[in-house]
Amino acid sequence: MVAPPPRSTSGAMESAAARGARPAPGADVEPKVRIQGLSYWYDGRQSLNGVTLDIPDRAITVLFGPAGGGKTTLMRLVNRLNDLVDRTKVTGRILLDGEDIYAPGVDVTQLRRRVGMVFALPLPLPGTVRDNVLYGPSLAGVRGRERLSEILERSLTQAALWAEVKDRLDTPALSLSGGQQQRLCIARSLSLEPEVLLLDEPTSGLDPISTAKVEESLFELKSQYSIVIVPHSVQQAARVADVAAFFLGGELVEYGDGPQVFTAPRDKKTEDYVTGRFG
Amino acid sequence: MRRMLLQRLGFVLLGLVTLVVVVPILLVVGVIVARGISAINWQFLSTMPYNGMKQGGILPAIIGTLLLTLGTALVAVPIGVGGAVYLSEYARDTRLTRAIRLAIVNLAGIPSIVYGLFGLGMFVLFFRFGTSILAGSLTLAIMTLPVIISTSEEALRAVPTEFRTVSASLGGTRWQGIRTIVLPQALPGIITGVILGLLRAAGETAPILFTVAAFYLPRLPRSPLDQSMALPYHLYVISTQVPGMPLSVQYGTALVLLGLVLSLNIVASLIRRYFRSKRQW
């Protein structure tokens, strides 16, 4: 099922393999997102350096590593949220279904509907539970009471929150607990039926039970979506990863299928991090 | 022990300072109410002045001030709030926008008589509006703009950036994010700024001196191009230009102006409280 990395006598090729310039593990189909030679500068400081990475469809890809490694930056480039920031520079390419998302003429709002994002802190918008979940669809012009309540129930169910909030859909979103708020934010992203779901430490502020619930819903969701997650711990990374990518100082150090990266890392730095020697 | 004493001393001093601020306000209001209340009656508020303004009411001045404030609002609110939205949400940090901000801050510091002269040159003479409510409103609007822009911009910046990011991440355009989240959240602050600016405009004399105010015009204005009496100018006139003016009429006029401004202020804080209670973060 998993193709072994191509053996090569050339040292340069070997390092390219370690950087992930090979087909995604477990992917005999076209990868959902291809990141090619991506570098990024903010205010003259480089925070991503030549990252090449394939993100498979219908699987959980984990981006992990110590803080400042470029994981969040990478995510914010995949749905072009970084467009909102001034004084940045991007080189390299990101392909979604083979199409360059930074090509001129790309509709950014449409792209962000296809590539949803959940942030590290639960950030409910002002308004009720219902307002939050239906915010995206109504901006997209979805109308009709029946249509909207369908979306509401489906999204909240997928985020494992429906049972808890179905009787208080019209209470303020801020009256929910922290864990519920974070699942609400996941539901909010799912309301648009994105093809790719980016989650940036979605459980960092949550208790173990809420964390388990979020992880459970991720396992459900990966049958339909391409999921990319920055986990909040190595343990979580190992638990959820189908594919794992280790980032250090803006560079992709190692990339492979989950069990391999966490049990038999090829790179010394990955091993040190996974076994808890630093980070 | 010593520290406790010092702390107590500090509190007493701060209390005294507060008192120094409050006492003049109470004195001003108290004196004006005490001396002016006898002049206030329905006839004073609802009829034209006659006999060289020594008798009759001050209706044209009240209406004039209300119309001028309304005109100022119609011009200054859309432009001011629009400018604030642009500066806070769209403008990048360039030399141009920094120059614009500097200009706004400086505009707020210009003496009101200068605005009056500017209005005379620009609206009364150059645009040939004559001394009219239109020219006066425009002049007051320009004077009010800096206040509205800077307080509105402040209110918009106080809305957490994350809301904008979330809105964008859900496929919202920048404007959709502003319209659905940022503006509603900033509304209490914007309203406060708008009303503070308008109150200042309502009470100003210098900007309307050459642009709209009539010395003695015992009828209501017929069109925006008509002159009008206005409360601050009327107060100035009857206090300094008309010999033998009964003191109670002067204080009564001051009381009406004060009451108008204070009641607008109260309305402003009620609106603000209403929107605050609806806000959830």
Whole-number Å distance between alpha carbons of B123 and B111: 18
Q: From edge to edge, which strands make up the β-sheet containing A99-100?
A: A45-55, A33-42, A88-96, A99-100
Instruction: Give me A264's structure tokens.
Output: 């038999």
CB atoms within 10 A of CB B64: 28
Q: Which of B172, B279, B281 has the CB atom closest to A139's CB atom?
A: B172
Share of chain A above pLDDT 90, in %: 60
Q: Provide the domain count of chain A.
A: 1
Does the structure show a pLDDT above 50 at A7?
A: no
Q: Does the residue A110 lie in any domain?
A: yes
Q: Residue A25: is its pLDDT beyond 70?
A: no
Is the pLDDT confidence value at A100 over 90? yes
Q: How many Å apart are CA A158 and CA B74, to the nearest integer?
A: 49
Interface of B with A in 91-110 (CB under 8 A): 92-93
CATH number of the domain at A50, please: 3.40.50.300
Q: Is the Cβ pair A86, B279 closer than 8 Å?
A: no
Residue-wise pLDDT tens digits, B15-45: 999 999 999 999 999 999 999 999 889 999 9
* Per-residue pLDDT tens over the stretch B141-186: 999 999 999 999 999 999 999 999 999 999 999 999 999 999 999 9
Which residues from chain B sit within 8 angstroms of residue A135, using beta carbons? 167, 170, 172, 180
Which of chain A's residues have a Cβ under 8 Å away from the Cβ of B185?
126
Residue B168 has its nearest CB partner, among A84, A110, A121, at A84
**Nearest to A64, CA basis, from A275, A247, A279, A265:** A247
Tens digit of pLDDT for each residue in B81-100? Answer: 999 999 999 988 889 999 99
Question: Is the pLDDT assigned to residue A10 strictly greater than 90?
Answer: no
Count interface pairs A-B at CB distance under 8 A: 66
Does residue B265 carry a pLDDT above 90? no
Chain B touched by A135 (CB under 8 Å): yes
Q: Is residue A221 in a domain?
A: yes
Instruction: Test B92 with A172 for CB contact under 8 angstroms.
Output: no
Q: Which of A46, A8, A32, A169 is CA-nearest to residue A94? A: A32
Q: What is the pLDDT of residue B196?
A: 86
Instruction: Provide the shortest C-alpha distance from residue A75 to chain B (in Å).
Output: 11
- List b or e across B221-248, with b for residues whose CB sees 16 or more CB atoms inside 10 angstroms: beeeebbbbbbbbbbbbbeeeeeebeeb
- Residue pLDDT, tens place only, A102-135: 999 999 999 999 999 999 888 899 999 999 999 9
Give the closest of A86, A125, A192 to B166, CB-based: A125
Strand A60-64 vs strand A45-55: parallel, antiparallel, or unpaired? unpaired
| Short-list A272, A212, A278, A267, CA closest to A240 | A212
**Helices B247-278 and B183-203, axial angle in degrees (round to 10):** 180
Q: Are the beta carbons of A127 and A172 closer than 8 angstroms?
A: yes
Adjacent-strand bridge partners of A99 = A96
What does DSSP say about strands A99-100 and A115-118: parallel, antiparallel, or unpaired? Answer: unpaired
| A86 contacts in chain B (CB < 8 Å) | 92-93
Amino acid, res. A273: Y
Residue of higher predicted confidence among B272 and A240: A240
* Full 3-state SS string of chain B: CHHHHHHHHHHHHHHHHHHHHHHHHHHHHHHHHHHHHHHCCHHHHHCCEECCCCEECCHHHHHHHHHHHHHHHHHHHHHHHHHHHHHHHHCCCCHHHHHHHHHHHHHHCCCHHHHHHHHHHHHHHHCCCCCCHHHHHHHHHHHHHHHHHHHHHHHHHCCCHHHHHHHHHCCCCHHHHHHHHHHHHHHHHHHHHHHHHHHHHHHCCHHHHCCCECCCCCCCCCCCCCCECCHHHHHHHHHHCCCCCCHHHHHHHHHHHHHHHHHHHHHHHHHHHHHHHHCCC
How far is CA A222 from its chain centroid? 12
So what's the pLDDT on residue B178? 95
- Minimum-distance CB partner of A174 among B168, B176, B280: B280
* Per-residue confidence (pLDDT) for residue A178, from 0 to 100: 86
CA distance B86 to chain A (A): 15
**pLDDT digit string (tens) for B55-84?**
888 999 999 999 999 999 999 999 999 999
| CA–CA min distance A183, chain B (Å) | 15
User: Which residue of B163, B166, B180 is the best one to mutate when testing the A interface, meaning the one whose CB has the most A CBs within 10 A?
Assistant: B166
Interface check for B165 against chain A (CB to CB < 8 A): the answer is: yes
> Which helix or strand (DSSP H or E) is residue A181 part of?
helix A178-190
Cβ contacts of B159 on chain A, cutoff 8 Å: none
Length of chain A: 279
Contact A139 B170 (CB under 8 A): yes
pLDDT score, position A15: 40
Classify B38-48+55-278 by CATH class: mainly alpha
B259 in reach of chain A (CB within 8 A): no
What is the per-residue pLDDT for A279? 55
Check if A127 contacts B (Cβ < 8 Å).
yes
Provide the percentage of residues in chain A whose pLDDT is more than 70: 89
B chain contacts of residue A123, beta-carbon cutoff 8 Å: 162-163, 165-166
Which residues of chain B does A173 touch, with a Cβ-Cβ cutoff of 8 Å?
280
Residue A122 forms contact with B (CB below 8 Å):
no
> Which A-chain residues 8-37 have CB contacts (< 8 A) with chain B?
none
Does residue A259 lie within any of the structural domains?
A: yes
Q: Residue B280: what pLDDT?
A: 53
pLDDT computed for residue A24 by the predictor: 47
Tokens 């005294």 sit at which residue? B16
DSSP notation for A39-104: EEEETTEEEEEEEEEEE-SSSEEEEE-STTSSHHHHHHHHTTGGGGSSSEEEEEEEEETTEETTST
What is the pLDDT, as a whole number, of residue A241?
93
The answer to whether the beta carbons of residues A191 and A136 sit under 8 Å apart is: yes
Question: Are A262 and A241 contacting, i.e. CB atoms less than 8 angstroms apart?
Answer: yes
Put simply, whether B181 touches A (Cβ < 8 Å) is: yes
Q: B20: how many CB neighbours lie within 10 A of its CB?
A: 9
Residue A23 is part of which domain span? 18-120+194-274
